[in-house]
Structure formats: C-alpha cells, structure tokens
C-alpha cells in the first residue's frame, strides 16, 4: 500500500538519481491500478487500465506546479480516471456546451428530486437564485464552450471578473452554483454531458480573497447588526409598527401602500417567519377558528395558518397559531384588496393568496402566473421608503420617518423575539421558542417525548408542537401589542371603502391592551378631532362628529393628536409646528 513514507522514499531515490535510466514502480495493493513511478529525478502518479498507463499528477512538490497530488488526492483522482479508462469506449456524443448545462440544470431544479431518503421539492427562491447567477454577462464567453474543454483557468478568470464587477459575495455564490451544476452533470448526466472520465477539477477551486475594502465593509455590517440587535427591542418594534400604520394611512394615489405590503409587515413581526415564507400563505390555508386552542373564545377566536413544504426553508409543512389581532389584519387585507381591485380595475375577483399583489397582470419572468402574490422584496422597498432610503419620482430621497429608531430589517425580528422569549423561562421553554421559529427541537433527555429514536423522529413524527407554539405566540403577541399601544398605535382598520358595505365589517374586532392615555378601541372615536396624515405629510383636520359610516371608518385609523404623539411618529414639519 502506498503511504506517505513510500512517497518519501521514492523522492529520496529520485534525488540520488544521476539519469533517467533508473525506473521504479510502486504499485498500490488496495487500488491496484494506482502506480507511483520514479524515473530519474521525477516522481509521478499513474493509472493503469486496459494495457495503458496515464499520468494523473506529480508526487514531487515544485514551485508553480499545479499538478502536485498528495496521497489521498491521488487515490481519489485515480478512481475517477480508472472508471473512464475501463469504460472501454467513448460515448458517441460531443457533449454539452455550457448553455446546455445551464438549461438542463435549471430544469432539473424545477421538478421533485430525491436526495438520499428525502424528496426535495422545487423552491422558487432557489430557481431565482440560479437564474440570477448564470444570467451574469461574465458567462457570455462560456455559452458555446464544451464542458469537457473547460479548465480551471477558465473558472478562475470567470471568478476574477465577477469579483471585480459584483463583489466578493457574488463571486462566492457564482463558484458554488458552478460547482453544483458541473457535479450534477458529471454524476447524473455523465454520457450526455461528455464528462465521462473527467476529473472533478472544479472541486479544488477556491474563491479569491476579499479586498481590504470588502473586509472593512463586512466588519462594518457585523458592527451594525450587533448594534441593532442590542438596541432594537420590543418597545422599538411597537414604535415601528405605529409609524408603519400612520405612514400607510397618509399615502394616496400612486403613492398608496398596497394592502398586502401593509399587512405583511404585521405578519412578519407576529409570526416571526422569513418574509418569503410569510408571503406564501394561501387563503385556503388560514383557519379563522381553532376550537383546539385553549385561548380561543367566541368573542376573541384564535386561528391556524399552514404553509406548504415548498414555501418553508427546511422544506417541511409548517403550522402556527394565529392570535385574534393578526386574524383582523388578514381580514382587513382581504377586504382592502377586493375593494381596491374593484375601484381600479372594475373587477370583483378573489385571489388565492392572502397577500396578493395589487397588480393583476403576470410578471415578466412568470407569464404563466395570472394571480401573482406579493413579491418578498416589496416589504424591503417599503421599509426603505419609510427610512428615507428610497428615491421618489424626482430623484430625491424620501423623508426619514424612522430616524429615531435603530436600524431594522425584517429578519432581525427573529432575533428580537428570541431575546425577549429567552427572558421569560418561567412562561415558555427553549423548545417552544425553537418550535415557533420553525427550528428542530433540541434533544432533551428529561422529556419523555425525546426518548424516541432518531428514525422515528425523522420519518414518522408529524406533530407540529402546537401547544408549545401557542404559549410562545401568546406571550410574544401580547408583548408586541402592548408596545404598539404604548407607542400611540390604535386598532388598524380597512383603508379602502367597499361600496357594497362601507362600514359593516362582519367579524369580531380584537381587543387591545389598556394603557393610560386616550386610546381607540373597536373603532370608537375620542371626543377631540383626530388629524390624519396626507400625502404632503401635514395633518388634515376632520369633523369632530362624523356624519357618515365612511368618515367613521377613515377616522378609526387616524391616530392620536399631534400633541399626544411620540416624537418618533412625527415628521420634521410637525415637530416644528408643535414647538
């Protein structure tokens, strides 16, 4: 058996050799086709099959030599090369070009596939990621190249070009998908792709090192994340939601915030889902009454939401208990969507999506989808607009309504909730927090349920741990609602007036926590008039006593007077107006 000591001995013999007439072969006893040959001062690895000897690399490390192979690497490459030599004949095909691989690889990810004992479902986010990666202009020169003719130099030059144009992160992602595509072609479409007997050289390629500026940017992002994580607590989350509601109420015309965007932020905060998963909820999968929930009553019913496996990151069906307030938000979103579509399009239609896009035409990349749902990045665009980081039609940045709050992004809410729930171990367990976040429950030997075998837990256990999720959701939703009300928030109401039923909602309204100070509950108005944000950011005075149902619905979402509004909710002009 060839070991490191055998290689060392061969190198010593080569160092003493005076000419190339001396030749010694060291044949491996495990992989009998692997040969270490020393001829004069040179020592190399060879594979023997069908009466042929083919060199696969050098055993002597020399400066600038890319063909050096250690013992373990030589064994791996020898196995692949031996398979190609033993096949006896070459396939009658020219093999795929890169354009062929791009097409076939993306098609393979659009259908179900089996990996080990699991069936992997197609993920739209993965398909979009692959398409965006291979769509780069740097791949233009690769389109007609045969896979069998690609070399490590081609890949390194491609990575360098992507790094220069798009940065280190895009470079790493490009390398990951190129490796995945080539490995898939070599293992599953070996003959058609023309990669029979080709050594997987791409597995050894590493991305280039990030530049000094990129490293500084990475460290700066880490510092920003840690600062936001330490500063953004539940109280700040309540202020954010209050600003969000007043911001949505003050937009009209083309600047109006769509019902799906308005509701999706509430759902991301309460359910702690990733924004993509949250937007994948179908109306048929939202149950408005859950008779098994211990907190559910006739006046304040709890519900249940279910997401399919293809909409969840871990590709497993996921269920959550939904508190009454969040059911109210969903109903407002559904009512506003249908009223908005009837007003703008003259249509009386229903969407399959709970968070449906207000545009009723297919997107460019998905012409076969006549019922588009909310695009996940729409929520990010909404937060940029509120934070003054989005340009308007004149090319100017919008006003920053979040200037008094720490930096926030949707995924941060999962960290905020975890930190909050961890502070209450007497009310919720760590397993409940993991279940609410959709993570695998920790192994706890003191729990009898955890004594089942891993096979049982992996393939037969279908429990959604709803009791654990309910306790965690109850504590979390109550804390968020209390922070929202303390920040001056009121019960959100539908923004669009349905001409068929302008005031009658037809569902039980949720109760908000009672806190000191004037508050609105169930749509009732305070005695003093309530100003409402207009598109110009200035308050508009409304009648103290509404005369119509339409005015009552508008004023139910208007918010408290400026003198009672926290500073974080006011614009710069309003702060000057009240001194």
Q: DSSP of 426-455, one letter per residue?
A: TTS-HHHHHHHHTPPPPP-TTSGGGGS-HH
Four-point Cα dihedral 384, 385, 390, 393, nearest 10: 160
- Distance in angstroms (rounded) separating the CA atoms of residues 403 and 435: 34
Residue 463 has a pLDDT of 64
- Residue 313 near residue 274, CB atoms below 8 Å: yes
- Residue 325 near residue 474, CB atoms below 8 Å: no
- Residue 416 near residue 268, CB atoms below 8 Å: no
Return the CATH architecture of domain 98-210. Answer: Orthogonal Bundle (1.10)
2: left (phi over 0), alpha (psi -120 to 50) or beta: beta
Q: Which two tokens stand for residue 113?
A: 């596939």
Residue 370 has a pLDDT of 67
| Residue indicated by tokens 């908000």 | 512
- Distance in angstroms (rounded) separating the CA atoms of residues 157 and 178: 13
Return the CATH architecture of domain 223-500+518-555. Answer: Orthogonal Bundle (1.10)
Handedness of CA 547, 553, 554, 555 (dihedral sign): positive
How do the pLDDT tens digits run along the chain, 579 residues long?
Answer: 889 899 999 999 888 888 877 888 899 888 888 999 998 888 999 988 877 788 888 888 887 777 888 888 888 888 877 776 665 555 566 789 999 999 999 999 988 888 777 778 787 778 888 999 999 999 999 999 999 889 999 999 999 999 999 999 999 999 999 999 999 999 898 888 988 878 888 988 999 999 999 999 999 988 988 888 888 899 999 999 999 999 998 888 778 888 889 999 999 999 988 878 888 888 889 999 998 899 999 999 999 998 887 777 777 788 899 999 999 999 998 888 888 877 665 555 678 888 888 775 655 555 556 677 787 788 888 888 888 888 777 777 878 888 888 888 888 888 889 989 989 888 888 888 888 887 755 443 344 444 444 444 444 444 678 888 999 999 999 999 999 999 999 999 988 765 556 567 788 889 998 877 554 444 433 333 333 444 444 334 433 344 444 444 344 444 445 445 555 555 544 444 444
- Residue 241 near residue 480, CB atoms below 8 Å: yes
Give one DSSP letter per residue of 90-116, joined into a string.
Answer: --SS---BHHHHHHHHHHHTTS-EEET
Whether pTM exceeds 0.85: no
- Residue 150 near residue 159, CB atoms below 8 Å: no
> Over 475-523, what HEC string results?
HHHHHHHHHHHHCCCCCCCCCCCCCCCCCCCCCCCCCCCCCCCCCCCCC
- Distance in angstroms (rounded) separating the CA atoms of residues 25 and 543: 100
DSSP classification of residue 288? S
Count the helices and strands in the chain (H runs, E runs).
19, 11
Other C-beta atoms lying within 10 Å of the C-beta of residue 204:
10
- Distance in angstroms (rounded) separating the CA atoms of residues 325 and 489: 13
- Residue 321 near residue 469, CB atoms below 8 Å: yes
Residue 532 has a pLDDT of 42
Show me where the domains of the chain are located.
4-86, 98-210, 223-500+518-555
Burial 91-101 (b: 16+ CB within 10 A, else e): eeeebbbbebb
- Distance in angstroms (rounded) separating the CA atoms of residues 540 and 531: 5
- Distance in angstroms (rounded) separating the CA atoms of residues 463 and 439: 13
Residue 372 has a pLDDT of 76
Q: Which residue, among 270, 341, 356, 299, has the nearest Cα to 507 in the 3D structure?
A: 299
- Distance in angstroms (rounded) separating the CA atoms of residues 536 and 247: 11
What lies within 8 Å, CB to CB, of 52 at 6+ separation is 85
Give the N- to C-terminal CA distance of the chain in Å, as an integer: 87
């Amino acid at each position: 058996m060839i070991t490191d000591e055998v290689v060392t001995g061969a190198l010593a013999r080569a160092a003493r050799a005076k000419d190339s007439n001396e030749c010694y072969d060291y044949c491996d006893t495990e992989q009998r086709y692997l040969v270490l040959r020393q001829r004069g001062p040179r020592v190399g690895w060879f594979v023997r099959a069908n009466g042929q000897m083919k060199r696969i690399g050098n055993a002597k490390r020399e400066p600038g030599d890319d063909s050096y192979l250690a013992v373990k690497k030589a064994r791996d490459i020898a196995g692949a090369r031996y398979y190609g030599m033993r096949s006896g004949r070459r396939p009658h095909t020219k093999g795929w070009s890169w354009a062929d691989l791009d097409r076939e690889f993306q098609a393979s990810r659009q259908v179900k596939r089996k990996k080990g004992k699991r069936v992997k479902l197609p993920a739209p986010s993965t398909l979009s990621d692959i398409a965006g990666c291979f769509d780069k202009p740097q791949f233009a020169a690769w389109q007609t190249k045969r896979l069998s003719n690609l070399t490590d130099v081609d890949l390194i030059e491609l990575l360098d070009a992507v790094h220069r144009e798009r940065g280190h992160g895009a470079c790493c992602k490009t390398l990951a998908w190129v490796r995945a595509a080539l490995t898939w072609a070599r293992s599953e479409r070996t003959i058609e792709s023309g990669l029979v007997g080709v050594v997987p050289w791409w597995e050894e390629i590493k991305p280039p090192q990030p530049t000094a500026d990129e490293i500084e940017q990475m460290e700066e992002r880490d510092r920003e994340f840690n600062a936001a994580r330490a500063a953004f607590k539940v109280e700040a989350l309540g202020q954010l939601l209050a600003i969000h509601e007043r911001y949505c109420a003050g937009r009209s015309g083309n600047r109006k915030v769509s019902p799906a965007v308005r509701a999706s932020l509430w759902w991301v905060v309460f359910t702690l889902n990733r924004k993509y998963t949250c937007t994948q909820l179908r109306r048929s999968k939202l149950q408005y009454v859950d008779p098994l929930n211990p907190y559910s009553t006739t006046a304040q019913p709890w519900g249940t939401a279910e997401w399919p496996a293809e909409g969840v990151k871990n590709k497993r069906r996921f269920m959550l208990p939904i508190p009454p307030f969040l059911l109210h938000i969903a109903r407002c979103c559904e009512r506003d969507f249908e009223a908005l579509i009837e007003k703008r399009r003259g249509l009386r239609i229903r969407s399959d999506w709970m968070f449906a896009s207000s545009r009723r035409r297919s997107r460019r990349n998905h012409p076969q989808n006549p019922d588009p749902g909310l695009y996940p990045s729409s929520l990010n665009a909404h937060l940029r607009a509120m934070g003054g980081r989005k340009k308007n039609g004149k090319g100017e940045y919008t006003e920053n309504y979040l200037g008094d709050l720490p930096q926030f992004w949707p995924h941060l809410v999962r960290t905020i909730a975890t930190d909050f729930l961890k502070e209450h171990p007497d009310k919720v367990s760590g397993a409940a927090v993991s279940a609410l976040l959709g993570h695998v429950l920790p192994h706890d030997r003191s729990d009898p349920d955890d004594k089942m075998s891993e096979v049982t837990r992996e393939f037969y256990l279908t429990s959604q741990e709803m009791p654990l999720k309910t306790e965690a959701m109850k504590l979390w939703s109550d804390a968020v609602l209390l922070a929202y009300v303390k920040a001056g928030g009121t019960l959100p109401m539908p923004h669009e007036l349905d001409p068929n039923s302008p005031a009658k909602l037809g569902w039980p309204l949720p109760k908000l926590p009672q806190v000191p100070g004037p508050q609105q509950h169930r749509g009732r108005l305070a005695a003093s008039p309530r100003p409402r944000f207009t598109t110009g950011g200035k308050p508009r005075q409304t009648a103290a006593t509404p005369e119509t149902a339409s005015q009552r619905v508008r004023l139910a979402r208007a918010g408290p007077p400026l003198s009672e509004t926290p500073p974080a909710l006011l614009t710069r002009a309003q702060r000057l107006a009240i001194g």
